[in-house]
Amino acid sequence: GSVLENLHIRMAPTAATESGLQFESPFWTEVYNSDVVPMLSTWASVPFTTPFVWDGVSNIVVEVTFQNPAAGESTWLEATDIGVNRSLFTRGGDRYLDVWNPVYAAVDGTPFAALDGQLTVSWWSYGDPEFQPQSGTTFEIRDAAANRVVNVHGPWGDGVIYWDAGNSGGGSYDRISKAAPAADYEGNWTHWAFTKDAEAGTMKIYKNGVEWHTGSGFTRTMEDGTIMRIGKGLWGGSQSYFGHIDEFAMWDAILDPATIQDYMYKDLDDAHPNADDLFLYYHFDDGGSIYESDASASGADLGMIGTVSRMYDAAQLFRNTQQSTLRPNVIWEQGEFVSHLDSVLVIDSVMNDPLTMVLFDPENPTVGIDTFQVWPGDYYTYVFNEEGIIVDSTYISNTDDIVQEFYEYYGPAYEVIDRYELARYITPYGIGLDLGDGFTWTFDVSDYRPLLHDSVRIAAGNWQELLDMELWFIEGTPPREVMEVQNLWTGYKGYNTDEAFDANTPPIDVTLSSLAKTFRIKSRVTGHGFGGTANCAEFCAKEHYFKIDGDVVWTQEVWRDDCDVNPVYPQGGTWVYDRANWCPGAEVGTYDFDITDEVVPGNTYTFDYAAEDYFWNGGGSFPYYQTEVQLISYGAFNFNLDAAVIDIIAPSSDQMWGRKNPICSNPIIRIQNTGAQTLTSLYIEFGLEGADKSAYNWSGELAPMEWEEVMLPDYEWDESSTFTVTISQPNGGADEYAANNTMQSSVAIPELLPADLILEFKTNTKPNENDVFIYNSNGEEVFARTSFTASTVHKDTISLPDGCYELFVWDYDEDGIAWWANSDGTGYFRVKNASTGSIIKNYEPDFGGLIYQQFRVGTYVDAEDFVPVANTLEVFPNPAKDMVYLQVELNGRK
């Protein structure tokens, strides 16, 4: 027969007495590796290059492989039929699809458009251990409205396998998911099968032929798909799957587990029980082509957009095996030998990866008319000696030249849109999320008032949620008139493997308005992409800088550390993780900084926006900052001495402050200096409608347009539904603009609980993460538990006098006491009536970092209508900052 190239022989001990249907993967010892010329009708001596040590008891399994680049004459081994299956073999080559970012493969046709209520899809995958897990997509189908119909993330960057199938005609779809160990998605070939039966409402995932995960109640159907990719999703920011895919098949039927197991290790054939239901099947065995053929009746070939099909090494083959009772005749020689190692020069060639080129019609430049693969030329290949020194070279010339021509192309006339981002909000994880009648976020967009007139076009990047937006125009005089809004840097600004962030935000020259008096920069940036170095840019904190003529005038760490107390909770994904200036289901903060003192109106300056250096290793998804940096030019301040109430945090019905409400003690408000002078003092009057008002003298230091959150003293509470706060006397003088001095909010009174309570806390496996505290309205600690035992129910009975109380249940790891994405187990926290044992409240265990609630005991009223002369007066805490409490003893009462 032909020369057996790259002949490998490996041996290992085994306890098996017969061969199975799949190759074993023991701890091999390679004993031989060389090219071999078969000898005719004689024994072939195989001298081991590495001794094999036999224990004298175990059976021995021997693996023989060779790898020729082209078919040749067969080589026959003399064998004996021993009547027992002790041999296992496979023949011929096999290929797989190799995928990396940003390449993918596109299905040419729409055989999936006829899908309705049943689907099974299966394939083999091998994730690249260097990059997995990363947020890529194994395949996706979408409809004409860009709605997801079918999709698998195998896995996403969190190590979870997501199976999406079925759409109701909008952005929502059915999904099941489960976290997988790394061995299931990287460094090994794993067989996956996914089923969806809309009529039965079931979705299932099979791993290596065994049911691995299931869900019920999923009845959305899967019709009207118009486009499909393998190896990458169809949405704009999708990342490619990093790894290999083989034997990709889809049926419009539900395969049973036995059929999945019977065919996972062999090619599909006409004898398959669901052969008539097969509508896509890719072997990936064509090789060297821009298309991979569809082996189903649909004929929907697969366009290779940068992807390639690669040959398995002979030792990696594991499918289409056959058992045999024939065993090659072997004589074993055992003894002591004098040996030496020698080497033989073998020249091997590996094909370079091709480039996929698309040819467009010059008469219609947006329409592709041909696709072909090319290999770059004009380079040298080198021959190295055993010391790694170049001893020869060969020039690889071009065989063809392709010249790219550039055309000025004008499509149909369109309206020129100047895009300005007014605000940014990140949608929540939708799985398991219940927003009730909706959730409202409020943004101050006063700086964009010059843009909001006549007619404008509003765009929002939401995929699933139905959004309702209102613009409130408030009559009055602003602190200063906005004269101009300018975009400086906008859009997708990323790190690359060979360039810094700064390369995407180059310096620009800006001439300031000569009519403006004050200037402010607005920076709204959020980091995205993870899985590479340091999990940037989503999960790493980096400093950003603003420079004027090369001098740094502003530095800001781009980070948000309060995602665990988001009022939108619980969510289905990793909502508790802090991120680069954003949280799922929350507004994005804008960094405002004044540059008036750094510039002169009318002059020209070089502005530069930069970020801390970072090198991306190419792993995971691409790290970038969604960047909006704007210059706002204003006129002079309209008032010299003016202050404003800009928000009431508590008491409030505003959903953004839901974690801090309702209250029965200290109100919290936000004040702002809206005048030209620095604000140092303020008189604040507050209270409930119809009740006596309380007062507080604030002191501090706020520069123009700076704001501060102020906690007010406790005051008289009743059942009124309206809270009012009014400010006056800024810096002891007259406020020049009264229209912004008063604000009101709706009040909900906290629950009234019995005096005797049971706090019942079942811990998970990480009790050291939790503490429980209760404070009275004076800020005094009345209960504390800081020591718990794992997976144990703790019951504390407490008796409280009439009053207002604050409950804090902390989780210092910020992942609650029951969360799907950790292995901490499940706990609960509830409050019971000690007299009846009935549950008063069961708290959501997926609470992030804190459960906070104020509650009342008895008929709590903070202040007496009449205060006689005090017998004793206590002031605490001492020492104190900003606020103290007074305790008055009246005739033996406090």
| pLDDT tens figures, 595-612 | 999 999 999 999 999 999
Third-level CATH fold of 752-857:
Immunoglobulin-like (2.60.40)
Q: What is the mean pLDDT of the chain?
A: 88
Of residues 893 and 829, the one with the higher pLDDT is 829
**pLDDT at position 859:** 58
Of residues 435 and 649, the one with the higher pLDDT is 649
Q: Please, is 340 exposed, middle or buried when counting C-beta atoms within 10 Å of its C-beta (0-12, 13-18, 19+)? A: exposed
**pLDDT at position 405:** 77
Lowest mean pLDDT among 273-287, 350-364, 717-731: 350-364
- Chain centroid offset of residue 358 CA: 32
User: In whole angstroms, what is the distance from residue 804 CA to residue 776 CA?
Assistant: 6
Q: For residue 655, how many other CB atoms are within 10 A of its CB?
A: 17
**pLDDT at position 179:** 93
Query: What is the residue type of 708?
Result: E
Q: Please, is 333 exposed, middle or buried when counting C-beta atoms within 10 Å of its C-beta (0-12, 13-18, 19+)? A: exposed
**pLDDT at position 74:** 80
Third-level CATH fold of 425-637:
Jelly Rolls (2.60.120)
Q: Yes or no: say if 279 and 296 are a contact pair by the CB < 8 Å rule.
A: yes
The neighbouring-strand residues paired with 4 are 36
Lowest mean pLDDT among 111-120, 225-234, 273-282, 412-421: 412-421
Lowest mean pLDDT among 26-40, 49-63, 652-666, 810-824: 26-40
pLDDT band at 765 (very low <50, low <70, confident <90, very high): very high
User: In whole angstroms, what is the distance from residue 138 CA to residue 125 CA?
Assistant: 9
User: In whole angstroms, what is the distance from residue 185 CA to residue 155 CA?
Assistant: 7
Q: For residue 134, how many other CB atoms are within 10 A of its CB?
A: 27
What is residue 420's DSSP assignment? Answer: -
Determine if the peptide bond prior to 129 is cis (ω within 30°): no
**pLDDT at position 893:** 36
User: How would CATH label the architecture of 95-311?
Assistant: Sandwich (2.60)
Segment holding 259, helix H or strand E: helix 257-263
**pLDDT at position 858:** 86
User: In whole angstroms, what is the distance from residue 310 CA to residue 244 CA?
Assistant: 9
Query: Range(s) for CATH 2.60.120.200 in the chain?
Result: 95-311
Mean pLDDT across the stretch 505-516?
96
Residue 524 dihedral angles phi and psi, to the nearest 5°: -125, 100
- Percent of the chain residues past pLDDT 90, beyond the cut: 59
Query: Range(s) for CATH 2.60.40 in the chain?
Result: 643-746, 752-857
**pLDDT at position 835:** 94
Three-state SS for 260? helix
User: In whole angstroms, what is the distance from residue 208 CA to residue 124 CA?
Assistant: 9
Lowest mean pLDDT among 4-13, 122-131, 414-423, 671-680: 414-423
Task: Say yes or no: domain 643-746 is CATH 2.60.40.
Answer: yes
Confidence check: pLDDT of 861 > 50: no
Q: For residue 362, how many other CB atoms are within 10 A of its CB?
A: 10
Q: Please, is 652 exposed, middle or buried when counting C-beta atoms within 10 Å of its C-beta (0-12, 13-18, 19+)? A: buried
Q: Yes or no: say if 196 and 175 are a contact pair by the CB < 8 Å rule.
A: no
**pLDDT at position 860:** 46
User: In whole angstroms, what is the distance from residue 496 CA to residue 537 CA?
Assistant: 12
**pLDDT at position 464:** 61
**pLDDT at position 76:** 81
Question: At which residue do the structure tokens 């999923």 appear?
Answer: 218
pLDDT band at 894 (very low <50, low <70, confident <90, very high): very low
pLDDT band at 545 (very low <50, low <70, confident <90, very high): very high
